[in-house]
Amino acid sequence: MSTPSGNTYTDQQFLIEAARREMLLAMIRRGRVRLQFMITELDEIGVSLKYNMVSPEFAVVWINDVDAIGCVGVLPWMEEQFEVAA
């Protein structure tokens, strides 16, 4: 089998590349599911905060628990709570 650049793969090289491709695809699928989970959690946090079901401080803890703090950003009053580096 040859590549567009004209290089010839051995069977072993082809199998290694195929395995790497499958592993990367699995990691992408896993990442996509994780992001969907984070979106759902952020929606729930937003609704809970909007209807005063949780305090802003609790919402921040919840956001941090689902590893979404990097998506949301950090306000000055949140820095002390999480010792976030500037």
43 within a domain of the structure (yes/no): yes
pLDDT value for 86: 42
pLDDT value for 79: 73
5 within a domain of the structure (yes/no): no
Phi, psi (degrees; rounded to nearest 5) at 70: -70, -25
Rounded Cα gap, residues 37 and 53, in angstroms: 21
Neighbours of 26 (CB within 10 A): 10
Q: Which domain holds residue 60?
A: 11-82
Residue with tokens 């896993």: 30
Q: Under DSSP, is residue 71 helix (H, G, I), strand (E, B) or coil?
A: helix
8 A C-beta contact, residue 81 and residue 57: yes
Residue with tokens 């979106």: 39
Q: Number of structural domains, the chain?
A: 1
pTM attached to this predicted model:
0.72
Tens of pLDDT, residue by residue over 8-57, are 778 899 999 999 999 999 999 999 999 999 999 999 999 999 999 999 99
